[in-house]
Amino acid sequence: MTAPTVEISGVGKTYGAKRAVEDLSLVVNPGECLALVGHNGAGKTTLMKLMLGLIRPTSGGVRVLGDDPGETAAVKDRFGIGFLPETVSFEAAMTGAEVMTFFARLKGVPVAEALALLERVELADAAAARIKTYSKGMRQRLGLAQSLLGEPRLLLLDEPTTGLDPNLRQAFYGIIRELCEGGTSVILSSHILTELEARTDRVAIMNRGRLVACDTLDALRDQAGLAVRIRLRVKQGDAAAVAERLQASADLTRVNGQHVDLACGQGDKMMVLRDIAALGSDVGDVEIVPPTFDEVYNHFCLREDRP
């Protein structure tokens, strides 16, 4: 059995009377990409600081790469961790190459490896340019490059795609996929839930400092019990007749022109699809839309907020 990269057990963190994290337990395994989501102030950044050893828990325990990250003995482990904060800031007068050289020397990584990372994030042409001339997206890519120094075993990314255009976002997630395939654990915090939907192995949802749900997105959809939406395209004028034949199978949500919209539970989906298939050529096309990441997220957060 491979040891977990991160083990968090019953962790709490308070600042005076304020509870930033409460009784939180979480395990992240090698090669896993975990999406850490929650509203502002939910405790995500506090949790990352605990994993980095920047702050100590008030209660419970944190182990990263086998050690308590706040102890002196964990210094060697920090070389195996990459971190990209939400707000990236570098010395404006330095060039991209100088920034990477500086961080490479801090981490004991060959400078050639650091400069090669600039090419990987498509900044090779701007290596000699000063940071003050960089756009927000370029600074974000430079931050990503420094977080990849030394082939980290754990990568913590806080809003990593801020300022990146769609092409660069695709390239970024390609890098993340390669790292996970190589055994790196990635914890990725983002408010852009739609882009995480097909790119993470599990989702951890935080609300008011507590971990309210953690599983695969498919499993969370099942737990939430949210409706699956099905849209049928039919011949002009046939929508009402098709809707009448299916009203016993699923809830009708809309009948309009050439479309019939249905909703059903996840467990009833296959039965509804069989009834649709029985209609034969009366149905021209079928579109199935599962509950979105946003809907799943809202379900678990609103459930916790109810009195």
Task: Output the pTM of the full model.
Answer: 0.86
Contacts of 40 (CB under 8 A, 6+ apart): none
The pLDDT of residue 52: 93
Distance of CA 136 to the CA centre of its chain: 21
pLDDT of residue 86: 85
For residue 32, give both structure tokens: 């896993």
- Coil, strand, or helix at residue 249? coil
Q: Can you tell me whether residue 74 is helix, strand or coil?
A: helix
Place of tokens 């405790």: 43
Instruction: Spell out, as residue ranges, where the chain has pLDDT lower than 70.
Output: 1, 74, 304-307
User: In the prediction, which pLDDT does 195 show?
Assistant: 84
pLDDT given at position 296: 94
3 state SS of 208: coil
Per-residue pLDDT tens for 20-50? 999 999 999 999 999 999 998 899 999 999 9
Structure confidence at residue 2 (pLDDT): 81
pLDDT at 237: 87
- The b/e string for 247-284 (b: 16+ C-beta within 10 A; e otherwise) is eebbeeeebeeebbbbbbebeebeebbeebeeeeeebe
Query: If you count them, how many residues does the chain have?
Result: 307
Q: What is the pLDDT of residue 307?
A: 47
Output the pLDDT for position 76: 75
Are the C-beta atoms of residues 231 and 286 closer than 8 Å to each other? yes
Query: Domains plus CATH for the chain?
Result: 6-222 (3.40.50.300), 227-290 (3.30.70.1710)
